Chains A and B, each alone.
Chain A
Amino acid sequence: MSHKPEQPRLMKGNEALAESALRAGIHAYFGYPITPQSEILEYLTEHGRQYGCVVLQAESEIAAINMIYGAGGAGGRVMTSSSSPGISLMQEGLSYMACAEIPCLVVNVNRGGPGLGTIQPAQGDYFQATKGGGHGDYRLIVLAPSSVQEMADFVFEGFRLAEKYRNPAFILTDGALGQMMEKVILPPAGSLPHPEKPWATVGKPKHRERNILTSLHIESEKMEKVNHRLQEKYTALQREARHEAFQTDDAEVLLVAYGLSARICQKAMELAREKGIRAGVLRPITLYPFPSKAVAGAAEQASNVLVVELNSGQMIEDVKLAVNGRRPVHFKGRMGGIIISPEEVLAEIEHIVEHTQVEHV
């Protein structure tokens, strides 16, 4: 059977992600409205039926994540989405699901915080997404799209990784990528196979042991064993680290940025190169596992590293761990929902270069 190649469509990031989820064959989506991601819930309530997908507006993000826990535990391919304050409410459920090893996809269309914050785009939830977020030692698989195309593609990638490793996957994007319209070629429906889930709670046939999904292991020895198993999984996950590099081979200033910031940095890189400054950009695609080796390798070529984020400096900690003191690591960020401009980044690059030259004199 041959598929007609998909025609490019002009879509909002949130809608491309939602359509991609339907094409990924999700059985259920549970969500709660919050700006700037409500289009995902709206799109799915309108189009989910055609795909036979359960779409339910929950009474809260707490209920939504627990519906995901139930439906995902029962073997469904399931997804929820929210924005920062709602993602905070989901942390309890994510901790339970990470421990009970239930695959699912959770999307955070990051807005400015802390607190109720602002509905404008930000990257202030990096720590929450990549360091666990809820209680206990666990990690999510975190993907950071930087285009509407990737908003669509990473839904497939998120489920592939979540189901391969029996772990919640997480798309960390932001209000700008969610709201902006770009050309996108959607992945074909039905192209993501459904793996067997022999652990799922689907009703116990006579001759199999009952399936129990729990995060409770009250005996410390058992709980430690579960923790060891999770840690082994996270170690195995490191091989999935992904990044994208732009002109890093000859870069004297290595920019490290993810998502929206990475695109801004690409523009800043072009401006810098027009001025004769050899800048390059390394974009982590997976924020967990973090592409530490790639960052360290690219940093070796450069004399300075500049991390650019829409926060007060969160990913910079992982960059510093990767660079391990071998190069100076600088930071430039904006907060409160303000999107940094390429010119601001360029000014920082120029400042770093000038400062370095003075030092060399």
Chain B
Amino acid sequence: MFEDRKMETMTAPAGMELVYRRPSTLVDTPMHYCPGCSHGVVHRLIMEVVEETGIQEKTIGVAPVGCSVFAYNYLDVDMQEAPHGRATAVATGIKRVHPDKIVFTYQGDGDLAAIGTGETIHTVNRGESIVVVFINNAIYGMTGGQMAPTTLLGMVTSTTPFGREQPVMGYPLKITELIAHLPGAYFVTRQAVHTTAHVRKAKKALQAAFEYQGHNKGTCFLEFVSNCPSGWKMTPLEANDWLEKNMLPMYPLGDLKVPGRN
């Protein structure tokens, strides 16, 4: 039964060319994410890389607390669900007892850059050879749209109803820039997935990160500047447009640290 369904989704009808399919490493189930959300795209990209590089059997993931708390429902690899902010500590534990395995965390901005800042900084500073996937949508999606450490100045959230005011709530935290300064960081990049061109670039970055982990020379840290149509109270198209105009000037895309270059 399962095999039949797999055939149905994995092969093209006669006379047609297959140009896109769900990677076998992504569980065939509807996702709980809102329409237009970046999470689904990044999930798929990670699992495409896992499938294409044949590392499913040695990959272990760590899910955070936040919208992607259920990531293990979709990613067909062994996974642990970490307490809020602690994903990189959990990943450190896994990697230290299995240095030959591929370990990645998947974390949002609140998880990685607010409650888990200490774990994030120290994990990278130790140069743990893991991949950190960081989804920055400048908001707490799961809990209903509260301010995140990366919320832009003036941005309205449910806990900054008058916009984020610097004298009260400080500045948006550019944690990826901070991370890039640490000697334990091996590869640091900032990507986005709101257009097909960006998706292609983002996948290349993920391919590089998972390959670099095999070098065991430090942490690969990938920020994905993401949207949150529900939290931002926009349509998916409006959200992508807003991301381009407001998020990218604050969080410019590109590589911050590349092996052999910095």
Contacts and interface: CB of A to CB of B under 8 A. Distances in A.
Interface of A: 27-28, 30, 54, 56, 58-60, 62-64, 66-76, 78, 92-93, 96, 100, 201-206, 210-216
Contacts of B94: 70-71, 73-74, 201
Interface size class of B (residues with CB under 8 A): 20 to 34
Contact of B119 (A66, A72, A204, A212): A66
A203 B101 CA distance: 8
Contacts of A28: 93, 96-97
A215 B72 CA distance: 12
Contact of A62 (B60, B80, B89): B89
Interface stretch (B37-45, B51-59, B219-227, B229-237): B51-59
Q: Which of A66, A202, A205 has the most C-beta atoms of chain B within 10 angstroms of its own C-beta?
A: A66
A206 B93 CA distance: 24
Contacts of A96: 82-83
Contacts of B56: 203-204, 206
8 contacts: A28-B93, A54-B96, A62-B118, A70-B94, A203-B77, A203-B78, A204-B76, A205-B57
Contact of B93 (A72, A202, A210): A72
A202 B78 contact: yes
Please classify the interface of chain A as helix (H, G, I), strand (E, B), loop, or mixed, using the class held by over half of its residues: mixed
Given A59-B119, A60-B118, A93-B83, A67 B78 contact: no
A70 B118 contact: no
Contact of B82 (A66, A78, A203): A66
B78 to A, nearest CB: 4
A202 B95 CA distance: 10
B96 A206 contact: no
Contact of B118 (A63, A73, A74, A202): A63
Main SS class of interface, B? helix
A214 B118 CA distance: 22
Interface of B: 56-60, 62-63, 69-70, 72, 76-83, 86, 89-98, 101, 118-119, 122
B89 A54 contact: no
Given A203-B98, A216-B70, 4 more contacts: A69-B86, A70-B62, A70-B82, A70-B92
B119 A63 contact: yes
A69 B82 contact: yes
Contacts of A205: 57
Contacts of A71: 93-94, 96-97
B58 A203 contact: yes
A205 B57 CA distance: 5
The 10 A-B residue pairs with the shortest CB-CB distance in the complex, in nearest-first order: A70-B93, A71-B93, A66-B89, A214-B81, A70-B90, A67-B93, A201-B78, A66-B86, A59-B122, A76-B97
A28 to B, nearest CB: 5
Contacts of A100: 80-81
A74 B81 contact: no
Contact of A59 (B76, B93, B95, B118): B118
Nearest to B125: A59
A50 B81 CA distance: 32
Contacts of A60: 118
A212 B72 contact: yes
Nearest to A102: B80
Contacts of A215: 81
A28 B94 CA distance: 10
A76 B92 CA distance: 13
Contact of A74 (B76, B82, B98): B98
B80 A210 contact: no
B160 to A, nearest CB: 27
Contact of A66 (B69, B78, B83, B97): B83
Contacts of B89: 58, 62-64, 66-67, 69-70
Given A70-B90, A211-B78, A201 B118 contact: no
A216 B96 CA distance: 25
Given A73-B80, A93-B83, A204 B98 contact: no
A67 B83 CA distance: 11
B90 A66 contact: yes
A67 B90 contact: yes
Nearest to A200: B78
B93 A69 contact: yes
Given A67-B89, A204-B57, A214 B97 contact: no
B92 A67 contact: yes
A213 B94 CA distance: 12
Contacts of B119: 59, 62-63, 66
